[in-house]
Structure 1
Amino acid sequence: MKKILLIILLIFINNSIFSQDDLLDILEDETPESTTDNIVTSTFKGTRILNGHSIENRKDSELEFIISHRFGAINLGFDELFGLDQSNIRFALEYGVTDNLTAGFGRSSFEKTYDSFLKYSWVKQRKGQKSFPVAISLFGSIAVKTIKDYDPADKRSFAESLSYVGQVLVARKFNESFSFQITPTYIHRNTVKIGADPHDIFAVGFGGRLKLSKRVSLNSEYYYAFDESESINARNSLAFGVDIETGGHIFQLILSNAITMIEKSFIAENTGNFFGGDIHFGFNISRTF
């Protein structure tokens, strides 16, 4: 109401004790600072950088359907059509419980794994007087491997098939073109192949996004694991990709040395040598309802 009265005074009063500049200054003082306008948004285009999660969440009551696909390694040669004869696929549903909390559930063909997660946006990056330099999200997931790859006489229990992941996602949007994220990670596996393999694995991920146009960006991602399993020749996860936005879809084209798409697998149990030709072409495609 005060804004309306001041505007009327500015238009209709010619010989006031206030000048136009005085009235505009008063009008500006009466306008409250918008806190939501100072929140930095669209740090990443989608909820994934490539294999791993970004800080982005689904909005309140939004439902996202995600199909992720990874083919075999390109160094398998022509007989396997450079990996296209092999595939690993994951279907997932992710729901925005609130603007800051996302819940998800998925199923991977690799090891017939079911996984679920929660991701909570804890701190927002802000500009202005109450600025904060980074955004911070918390991520936790649980997965169960259901493939029967054990001796029938030594059947695993449900609890023995479980694994857990906890992550802190710390990201900053430096400008309209470049964003970067660091992801400290903790993984626990209830069962390992041999006694020398660690049940607990610590890792740190690095991910970046370079915006090329309004709808296209280049992404990269790398996870360094501090603990390695003795039973496999473990390799750190490395991926490069392109994000393409087409209406309600986010389409990601990916080249990665990991054939799996959940954190426990591509961080702790990856064996592909990217620079040795163990490169898996794949994609993520999502549709939001």
Structure 2
Amino acid sequence: METYQHKTSAKLFWCIALISIVYLFPHNAFAQTPDLFKMQDEQDKKDAKEKTDITTSIFKSTRLINGQTIENTGRGILDLRISHRFGFVNTGSYNFFGLDQATMRLGLDYGITDRLEVGIGRSTFNKEFDGFFKYRILRQSTGKVNMPISISLAATGVWRSLKDTVTTFPINYSDHFSFSGQLILARKFNDYFSLQLVPTMVHYNIVPTKAVKNDLYSMGIGFRQRLSKRVNLTGEYYYQVTQLGGYTNSASVGFDIETGGHVFQLFFTNSTGINESSFITQTQGLWGNGGIRFGFNISRVFSVVKPKNLAKTTY
């Protein structure tokens, strides 16, 4: 009898113990279970702070309309550019509102590194040859490196091969050269709008009179407004701080159209020249009386060095 009671008491004890464990364990377990979603959010924030996210596609092309943008041709990429401007619209129907006339530039740009781009070109205006380089100093980014703007340095040299007119003073070979230096500051505010400022100095080895300075300063401003996935409204304006007599400020407005492997640009501009020494300080057309030209730029890129052979891009 005592053995039976002992066995019954033992069974009752283990039943109570088992019920207590089953009842209490889940409460303790759930009370100590961490919030996995919260932990993941905290880890994502930590990872974002440790990673640098570089802003891309501030503009859709390395040229806005006439002038440079903050963008560079990618490393190992060759960019064939054809820039074409018709005659002034106000020349009337006899010249088919400028379409009977044309000025163009053929250029080749190449990305040596992710930061350094070089290029050469030939313009029909004054039969000019030009060469330039553009170097990225800083890139807009967020995360570990938080940089609010992008900054690039661009420099261009131009040689005018047009035969000289008869003058009362000798013209040296070096007098055919002009140079420009630009600091490009840009910011992409969101996926729809970008803005850049371009302080510029243009130097001429020879000027018309002693009253004109060899160094001319200007301030450029340009923007991109996204209209759709493949179409952007663009504009640029270069204000002449110091002027070359008889010339006005360059102003242009147009559209960038992305079509597969190239960007097609359509625009109106009051400038005839296409390189920096020409369009910034030698613009004569006036928008108010129809002194504008319809034009287009075509950009087609080719991969010279295959991406698999390139080292990983770093900040």
TM-score range (shorter-chain normalised) is 0.7 to 0.9
1:234 aligns with 2:253: no
**Which residue of 137, 153, 157 maps to 1:122?**
137
**Bigger mean CA offset, 22-31 vs 96-105:** 22-31
C-alpha separation in 2, matches of 1:23 and 1:188: 59
Q: Show structure 1 runs of 5+ residues with no match.
A: 1-14
CA drift of 1:99 comes to 0.7
**Corresponding residue of 1:103:** 118
Letter of the 1:173 counterpart:
K
Q: Who is 2:153 aligned against?
A: 138
- Check conservation: 1:142, 1:162, Cα contact below 8 A: yes
TM-score normalised by the chain length of structure 1 = 0.88
Residues 191-202 of structure 1: pairs in structure 2 closer than 5 A: 191-202=206-217
Q: Which runs of 5+ in 2 are unaligned?
A: 1-28, 303-315
Q: Do structure 1's residue 255 and structure 2's residue 265 form an aligned pair?
A: no
Residue type of the alignment partner of 1:271: Q
Identity over aligned pairs, percent: 42
Q: Given residue 190 of structure 2, which amino acid in structure 1 is its aligned partner?
A: N
Secondary structure of the 1:127 match is: strand
- Aligned pairs for 1:1-289 (under 5 A) are 19=34, 21=36, 24=40, 35-36=51-52, 38-151=53-166, 156-230=171-245, 233-289=246-302
Shift of 1:46: 0.3
Q: What's the counterpart of residue 11 of structure 2? A: none
8 Å contact from structure 1 (residues 111, 146) kept in 2: yes
Instruction: Considering fraction of residues, name the structure with more helix.
Output: 2
The Cα RMSD (Å) is 2.2
1:214 shift after superposition: 1.2
Does the CA contact (< 8 Å) of 1:101 and 1:119 recur in 2?
Answer: yes
Q: Aligned partners of 1:27 and 1:194: how far apart in 2?
A: 67
Q: Deviations over 1:2-52 (max 9, x none)?
A: xxxxxxxxxxxxx8986462874796589585644x111100000011110
- SS of alignment partner, residue 280 of structure 2: helix
Q: Based on CA coordinates, which of the two structures has the bigger radius of gyration?
A: 2
Conserved? CA contact 2:48–2:144, under 8 Å = no
Give CA-to-partner distance per residue, 1:83-122, whole Å, 9 cap, x none: 1111101000000000111000000000000000000011
**Residue 222 of structure 1 aligns to which amino acid in structure 2?**
Y
The TM-score with structure 2 as length reference comes to 0.81
For residues 180 and 28 of structure 1, do their structure 2 counterparts lie closer, same or farther at Cα, with a shift above 3 Å needed?
closer
**What is the CA–CA distance in structure 2 between the aligned matches of 1:277 and 1:212, rounded to whole Å?**
26
Q: Distance in 1 between matches of 2:87 and 2:44?
A: 61
Q: Deviations over 1:115-167 (max 9, x none)?
A: 00000011011123532111100000100000003228866332111101000
Tell me how many residue pairs correspond in the alignment. 272
- The CA deviation at 1:264 is 0.7
Deviates more, 1:117-126 or 1:17-26: 17-26
Deviation, 1:172, is: 0.6
Report the Cα distance in structure 2 between the residues aligned to 1:187 and 1:26, rounded to whole angstroms. 52
The alpha-carbon deviation at position 56 of structure 1 amounts to 0.2
- Say if 1:20 and 1:68 are closer, same or farther in 2 by CA, change over 3 A: same
Contact (CA 8 Å) 1:150, 1:156: kept in 2 or not?
Answer: no
